Structure 1
Amino acid sequence: MNSSDILIETLRLRLRKLRDDDADALSEYRSHPEVARYQGWSSPVSREAAASDIREYGGTDPSAPGWFIFAIEIKTEGLLVGEVGVRLHDNKMQADMGYSLDPSHQGMGLATEAVTAVVSSYFERGVRRISADCDARNIRSVALLERVGFRFEGLRVANRYAKGEWIDELFFGLLSERRS
């Protein structure tokens, strides 16, 4: 692995750029029904679709406006288990965030560790506000956001139509100066 691909390290994780050889793992966990249920994609996710996302979001600069996807890799195994996506606004003071994690690695605090590290990194770069939204049925995502310090900002009933149904969405925000 190229050391310049590693952007953030935590006790257990490397948050790095996506690489071409991540396509199989990305396709596999994104295809899991539990992961795809609350995301904008449908299962299964082909290797080609995963490779396309890697090309589009993996090689970009995390400090440039637009979307960047951090790969979540377990240090001891060198295994890609998830992602944290961040969309930095043009003013570089606001960002939106989303994440997903392979179900076989959920419940161990890995997503919390990754999201906390990414949030800290962006606040250190001068971002003042990070927003996140999620499907109101995704109680695990709600719990993660609250653990990291995000505050509930509202509910939009039937806010989005996806996968044949209207979805209620919850909105969260975190300000750098109010981080708990």
Structure 2
Amino acid sequence: MTTLTTPRLTLRPLTPDDLPSVLAYRNDPQVAQYQGWALPATLDSVAGLVSGAPLGSPGCVQRAVTLPGGEVIGDVALNTQGSQAEVGVTLARHAQGHGYAREALHALITHAFTDLGVHRVHASIDPRNAAVAALLIRLGFRHEGTSLQSYLHRGEWTDDAAYAVLASEWTA
């Protein structure tokens, strides 16, 4: 099981004890607004986030984002498919605006490129999520395009913006 640390955060496997916190922030309408999970989130729906799989295992692997005292303030995901991986981040509302998402994603992406040998990391977001779009640009991602009305999100056809960064760009 892969655990990553930064100056302020620990990214560790989610445990069953974390699920009440995860459920609380995933059911916050402001947190869930641009996320793809079904609402309301239930204990059964978030239980699948608990996994002992190491980062880099094929498919989606989640990690809890925790503060030094152990408080779960969000989660990150690395969905690895061969030499490419998709990243995602979700933070509780009270944890937003403090640089935690940038710090957590930076650690996750560095691990993907440096330790896992991934060639390309990408992210897919709702372009109305301006905060995450700006975060991805600050991290060095490029906007590769937007597919118009490409997926049905809670009854509304929604655009999908693609961002990516190559390993050669990350280390340059």
What is the aligned counterpart of 1:118 among 88, 105, 108?
Answer: 108
Residue of structure 1 in register with 2:19 after alignment: 23
**Distance (Å, rounded) in 1 between the aligned partners of 2:45 and 2:161:** 28
Q: Percent identity at matched positions?
A: 35
Q: Any idea what SS the aligned residue of 1:53 has?
A: coil
Residue of structure 1 in register with 2:63 after alignment: 70
Q: How does 1:104-143 map to 2 (within 5 A)?
A: 104-124=94-114, 125-143=116-134
Q: How does 1:43-58 map to 2 (within 5 A)?
A: 43-54=39-50, 58=51
Which 5+ residue runs of structure 1 have no aligned equivalent? none
**Distance (Å, rounded) in 2 between the aligned partners of 1:145 and 1:96:** 12
The yes-or-no answer on 1:79 pairing with 2:75 is no
Q: CA deviation at 1:146?
A: 0.8
Question: Any idea what the Cα deviations from partners look like across 1:40-60, whole Å, max 9, x if unmatched?
Answer: 113332223222332xxx222
Residue of structure 2 in register with 1:101 after alignment: 91
Residue of structure 2 in register with 1:176 after alignment: 167
Figure out how many residues of one structure are paired with residues of the other and give that number: 170
The 8 Å contact of residues 32 and 44 in structure 1, kept in 2 or not, is answered as no
Name the amino acid aligned to 2:151. R
**Distance (Å, rounded) in 1 between the aligned partners of 2:169 and 2:88:** 20
* RMSD over equivalenced CA pairs, Å: 1.3
The 8 Å contact of residues 136 and 168 in structure 1, kept in 2 or not, is answered as yes
The 8 Å contact of residues 124 and 161 in structure 2, kept in 1 or not, is answered as yes
Name the amino acid aligned to 1:84. V
Which 5+ residue runs of structure 2 have no aligned equivalent? none
Q: CA deviation at 1:62?
A: 1.2
Q: CA deviation at 1:148?
A: 0.9
**Distance (Å, rounded) in 2 between the aligned partners of 1:126 and 1:6:** 15
**Distance (Å, rounded) in 1 between the aligned partners of 2:44 and 2:117:** 36
Write 1 or 2 for the structure with the bigger share of helix.
Answer: 1
The 8 Å contact of residues 11 and 63 in structure 2, kept in 1 or not, is answered as yes
Residue of structure 2 in register with 1:9 after alignment: 5
Q: Any idea what SS the aligned residue of 1:120 has?
A: helix
What is the aligned counterpart of 1:38 among 28, 34, 40?
Answer: 34
The 8 Å contact of residues 14 and 49 in structure 2, kept in 1 or not, is answered as no
